[in-house]
């Protein structure tokens, strides 16, 4: 007869067997038995957030920068509902999270008890799967299954809701491995066939205007995938562009890289996507910020789509060759087969793509990321460029909030390695970057972690500075402070006759004093002249820093594909701004 | 609203709407129906009718038959999204009107009226396997099994004959011949 354990003990036993080192959480009545058990498990460190949303984003930052699932522990009712934003964020960006929530005792479920809510009901649409555990003997199986669901196939968040009485009850513990009857999302059921690979290679050989379009799937597949991607791109000599989430999978400063594509992507990337004859989508999902109007999206191209999630294929864009696979596995076998049959492809094919590269060169000459700099006022793009120049020689991790600063960071900060760029792309969660930086710093002690932030976003989760101070996490909050919700203001300028309705924050805290009151360091830069020295000062401080970078209030983020225009007609700068049709204004 | 010209969130060309019958085998566990129904409502798909019951008592497998409408692209998404759900074992999809599939719905009608009227009711229902489930001197409960359109018509015809209550199931489906759904 195996020893019986309490539900709370089973939780920790399962976490230990899953090799969990950190949990991010916040205690409350319905999880007290689990918190009580924490002291007996020294290998697991609990990071106390200041709000469950913060704990969730920290767990996301931890997961994205380490490749391991993030674990979140919250109480019932408000604890669970506060975690919903983070769960949805993780769901949209395919981040593996395991959220354990307390629930009122089973006999009180359904009675509108204190801090009761229908947690599994509320989180059903924002998790891959969730469980309400009503029998302590199911608990170990459910917990291990939860880790498996979160991390296999297309990763994502899961939630296990454990009523308080189950946490006390004694039951059997067993370590379950690979409990799923079928592998999720077709990952293991599909073996890549040679005929698929040959079709792939054939399309590569036939094309004269090819482009790689890569996304977060490359990052999620692990560091191996980035290595193989680099190999394939250099084997073919083709140009490559990346989505917001894919940045870092391919070196941002490589000449074959055209920059990010999409709504605020580069002129060359978007035009190449529009005019190409072969689009090779690896681990991206034809999101609406990329495709624009689907009927006019890259009309003349053959399209290959590699995705681990079968439901991603054909959802938005019809493709000519679909391969359901993990990116690493596909690239590995593709490169092997390609090399066998096509020795010296790069040189023999140079001629064929030379016109294409010439055209790309012409688009590049537009220098679409250029901006008019100033020596009086700090331009936000300039600030990001300086931050990049001053940090590029060390292994730096960047998180962001959501808005203009996020796009400027994506445009001007060049990433060379995967897992160095953590941003909320799918859900677009303001307030993501600061708590995410906490998780990143925990997973990467000793490394430089910078949250490129906007002053409006960062105030949404500012309380987490207190967490950073408590655990001595020297994160740097680099605020591009323009006193506006910048992206809202930009849309109002371009689409709503400059009616800046509620996008200006008339009362902001003094961020330097705020930093001091949190027990961290505040720095302010007001002029371009002092910017470099202040950034260097920030980097040199081994404590959390809030950097208030006072920037031009009126700067807009370009290039931009405006509403009411086809995908290959971008606005490149303020001189090109023009009226947008009434029809265009209604769109998001 | 005027036709949009935007590069963003513009609806693409809409394909032809088809009616499909989707059969889903699921673990009969708490919340499984909510997961299926939530998937449909959350992604904006339609459920025209739904029939659910456990078909394997030992393994606790339920068979769900869903009648839905959508463009071929939407129907494909429904299938793929359903397959991603953890408690879903398999999904089968049929276009309404496919020849080797059988469909049936069951309906119960309560009719008030004298014997003469009830005789008339029986006659109208004759083609649809009528069974008298309950009979009094002024009412009758009659059960029929038929296709949806036939039951629709029947209900309409019975209205003037004293129909006061109708209860119907969703469609269930099965393949003809020795083949089974795969």
CATH classification at residue A410:
3.40.50.970
Instruction: Please classify residue B126 by burial: count the beta carbons closer than 10 Å to its beta carbon, then call 0-12 exposed, 13-18 middle and 19+ buried.
Output: exposed
- Residue B97's pLDDT is 82
Is the CB of A292 less than 8 angstroms away from the CB of B30?
Answer: no
Q: What is the mean pLDDT of residues B159-170?
A: 95
Q: Which residues from chain B sit within 8 angstroms of residue A274, using beta carbons?
A: none
- Residue A568's pLDDT is 73
**Overall number of domains in chain B:** 2
- Residue A292's pLDDT is 78
Angle of helix A528-540 versus helix A380-391 axis, rounded to 10: 40
- Residue A581's pLDDT is 59
The kind and range of the H/E element at A258 are strand A257-260
- Residue A293's pLDDT is 77
> What is the C-alpha separation between A487 and A500, in angstroms, rounded?
11
Q: Which residues from chain A sit within 8 angstroms of residue B80, using beta carbons?
A: 310-311, 313
Which of B4, B6, B70, B72 to substitute to test the interface with A, most A CBs within 10 Å? B6
Q: Does the residue A371 lie in any domain?
A: no
- Residue A311's pLDDT is 93
Is the CB of B34 less than 8 angstroms away from the CB of A584?
Answer: no
Which tens digits make up the pLDDT trace of A531-575? Answer: 999 999 999 999 999 999 999 999 999 999 875 566 677 888 876
Is the CB of B12 less than 8 angstroms away from the CB of A263?
Answer: no
Nearest by CB to A583, which of B2, B12, B84? B2
* Helix then strand then coil, % of chain A, to nearest 5: 45, 15, 40
Q: Does the residue B11 lie in any domain?
A: no
How confident is residue A192, by pLDDT bands cut at 50, 70 and 90?
confident
> What is the C-alpha separation between A136 and A172, in angstroms, rounded?
8
**Statement to judge: residues B78 and B110 lie in one domain:** no
Mean pLDDT of chain B: 90
Q: Which of residues 124-143 of B touch A (CB under 8 A)?
A: none
CA atoms within 13 A on the CB side of A186: 20
Which tens digits make up the pLDDT trace of A474-511? Answer: 999 999 999 999 999 999 998 888 999 999 999 999 99
Active site residues of A: 52, 114-115, 164, 487
Virtual torsion, Cα B74, B75, B78, B82, nearest 10 deg = -160
Q: Is the pLDDT of residue A186 over 50?
A: no
Q: Does the residue A222 lie in any domain?
A: yes
Q: Which of A136, A162, A183 is the last residue of a domain?
A: A183
Q: Is the pLDDT of residue B1 over 60?
A: no
Q: Is the pLDDT of residue A189 over 60?
A: no
**Statement to judge: residues B59 and B119 lie in one domain:** no
Report whether the peptide linkage leading into residue A512 is cis, meaning its omega lies within 30 degrees of zero.
no
Q: Does the residue B180 lie in any domain?
A: no
Complex prediction ipTM: 0.88
Instruction: Please classify residue A19 by burial: count the beta carbons closer than 10 Å to its beta carbon, then call 0-12 exposed, 13-18 middle and 19+ buried.
Output: exposed
**Statement to judge: residues A488 and A392 lie in one domain:** yes
Is residue A558 within 8 Å of residue A535, measured between CB atoms? no
Among all residues of chain A, which has the CA nearest to that of B4? A583
How confident is residue A286, by pLDDT bands cut at 50, 70 and 90?
very high
Q: Which of B95, B124, B140 is the last residue of a domain?
A: B95
Is the CB of A315 less than 8 angstroms away from the CB of B42?
Answer: no
Among all residues of chain B, which has the CA nearest to that of A124? B35
- Residue B2's pLDDT is 39
- Residue A3's pLDDT is 87
Q: What is the mean pLDDT of residues A390-406?
A: 98
Is residue A327 within 8 Å of residue A335, measured between CB atoms? no
B31 in contact with A, Cβ within 8 Å: yes
**Overall number of domains in chain A:** 3
SS (H, E, C) A283-344: CCCCCHHHHCCHHHCCCCCEEEEEECCHHHCCCCCCCCEEEECCHHHHHHHHHHHHHHHCCC
B14 in contact with A, Cβ within 8 Å: no
- Residue A575's pLDDT is 67
Which of B86, B88, B89, B93 to substitute to test the interface with A, most A CBs within 10 Å? B86
Q: Is the pLDDT of residue A126 over 70?
A: yes
Q: Does the residue A562 lie in any domain?
A: no
B38 in contact with A, Cβ within 8 Å: yes
Is the CB of A587 less than 8 angstroms away from the CB of B6?
Answer: yes
Task: Give the minimum alpha-carbon distance from A223 to chain B in angstroms, rounded to a whole number.
Answer: 26
Q: Does the residue A507 lie in any domain?
A: yes
Nearest by CB to A584, which of B6, B34, B89? B6
**Statement to judge: residues B108 and B168 lie in one domain:** yes
> Residues with Cβ < 8 Å from A428, sequence gap 6 or more?
A402
Is residue A181 within 8 Å of residue B27, measured between CB atoms? no
- Residue A584's pLDDT is 59
What pTM value is reported for the model?
0.94
Domain that holds residue A17: 5-183
Q: Does the residue B1 lie in any domain?
A: no
Task: Give the minimum alpha-carbon distance from A294 to chain B in angstroms, rounded to a whole number.
Answer: 6
Residues of A with CB under 8 A from a CB of B: 120-121, 124-125, 128-129, 132, 149, 180-181, 184-185, 263, 288-289, 292-295, 309-311, 313-315, 561-567, 581-584, 586-588
Domain that holds residue B54: 18-95
DSSP classification of residue A185? G
């Amino acid at each position: 007869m195996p020893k019986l354990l309490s539900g709370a003990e089973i939780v920790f036993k399962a976490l230990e067997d899953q090799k969990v080192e950190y949990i991010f959480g916040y205690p409350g009545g319905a999880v007290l038995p689990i918190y009580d058990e924490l002291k007996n498990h020294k290998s697991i460190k609990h990071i106390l957030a200041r709000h469950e949303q913060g704990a969730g984003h920290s767990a996301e930052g931890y997961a994205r920068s380490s490749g391991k699932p993030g674990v979140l522990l919250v109480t019932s009712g408000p604890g669970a509902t506060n975690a919903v934003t983070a769960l949805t964020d993780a769901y949209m960006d395919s981040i593996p999270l395991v959220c354990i929530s307390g629930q009122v005792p089973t006999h009180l479920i359904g009675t509108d008890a204190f801090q009761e809510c229908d947690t599994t009901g509320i989180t059903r649409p924002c998790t891959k799967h969730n469980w309400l555990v009503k029998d302590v003997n199911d608990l170990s199986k459910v917990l291990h299954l939860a880790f498996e669901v979160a991390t296999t196939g297309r990763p994502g968040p899961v939630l296990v809701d454990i009523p308080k009485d189950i946490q006390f009850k004694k039951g059997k513990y067993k370590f379950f491995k690979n409990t799923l009857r079928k592998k999720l999302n077709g990952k293991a059921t599909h073996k890549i066939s040679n005929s698929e690979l040959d079709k792939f290679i054939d399309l590569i050989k036939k094309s004269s205007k090819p482009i790689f379009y890569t996304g977060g799937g490359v990052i999620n597949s692990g560091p191996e995938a980035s290595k193989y991607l680099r190999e394939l791109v250099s084997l073919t000599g083709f140009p490559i562009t990346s989505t917001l989430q894919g940045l870092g999978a391919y070196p941002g400063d490589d000449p074959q890289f055209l920059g990010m594509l999409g709504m605020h992507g580069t002129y060359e990337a978007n035009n190449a996507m529009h005019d190409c004859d072969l689009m090779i989508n690896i681990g991206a999902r034809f999101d609406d910020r990329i495709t624009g109007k689907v009927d006019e999206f890259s009309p003349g191209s053959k399209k290959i789509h590699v995705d681990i999630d079968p439901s991603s294929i054909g959802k938005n864009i019809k493709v000519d060759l679909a391969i359901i696979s993990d990116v690493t596995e596909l690239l590995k076998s593709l490169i092997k087969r390609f090399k066998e049959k096509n020795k010296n492809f790069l040189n023999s094919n140079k001629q064929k793509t030379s016109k294409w590269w010439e055209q790309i060169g012409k688009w590049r000459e537009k220098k679409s990321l250029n901006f008019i700099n100033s020596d009086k006022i700090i331009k936000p793009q300039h600030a990001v460029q300086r931050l990049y120049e001053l940090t590029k020689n060390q292994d730096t991790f960047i998180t962001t909030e959501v808005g203009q600063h996020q796009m400027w960071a994506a445009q001007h900060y060049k990433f060379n390695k995967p897992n160095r760029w953590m941003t909320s792309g799918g859900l677009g969660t303001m307030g993501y970057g600061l708590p995410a930086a906490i998780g990143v710093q925990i997973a990467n002690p000793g490394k430089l972690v910078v949250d490129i932030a906007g002053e409006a976003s960062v105030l949404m989760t500012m309380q987490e500075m207190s967490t950073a101070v408590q655990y001595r996490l020297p994160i740097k909050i680099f605020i591009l402070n323009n006193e506006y919700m910048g992206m809202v203001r930009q849309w109002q300028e371009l689409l709503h006759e400059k009616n800046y309705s509620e996008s200006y924050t008339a009362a902001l805290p003094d961020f330097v004093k705020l930093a001091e009151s949190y027990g961290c360091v505040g720095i302010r830069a007001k002029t371009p002249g002092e910017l470099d020295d202040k950034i260097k000062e920030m980097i040199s401080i081994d404590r959390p820093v809030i950097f208030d970078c006072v920037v031009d209030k009126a700067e807009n983020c370009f290039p931009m594909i405006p509403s009411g225009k086809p995908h290959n007609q971008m606005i490149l700068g303020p001189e090109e701004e023009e009226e947008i049709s009434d029809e265009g204004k209604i769109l998001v | 609203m005027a036709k949009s010209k935007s590069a963003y969130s513009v609806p693409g060309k809409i394909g032809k709407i088809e009616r499909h019958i989707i059969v889903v085998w699921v673990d009969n566990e708490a919340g499984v129906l909510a997961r299926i129904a939530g998937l449909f409502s959350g992604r904006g798909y339609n459920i025209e009718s739904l029939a659910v019951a456990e078909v394997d008592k030992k393994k606790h497998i339920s068979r769900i038959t869903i009648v839905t409408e959508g463009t071929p692209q939407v129907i494909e998404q429904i299938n793929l999204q359903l397959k991603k759900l953890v408690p879903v074992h398999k999904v089968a999809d049929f276009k309404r009107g496919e020849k080797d599939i059988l469909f049936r719905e069951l309906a119960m009608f309560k009719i008030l009226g004298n014997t003469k009227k009830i005789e008339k009711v029986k006659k109208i229902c004759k083609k649809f396997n009528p069974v008298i489930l309950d009979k009094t001197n002024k009412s009758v409960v009659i059960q029929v099994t038929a296709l949806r359109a036939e039951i629709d018509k029947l209900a309409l015809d019975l209205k003037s004959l004293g129909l006061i209550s109708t209860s119907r199931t969703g469609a269930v489906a099965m393949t003809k011949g020795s083949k089974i759904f795969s």
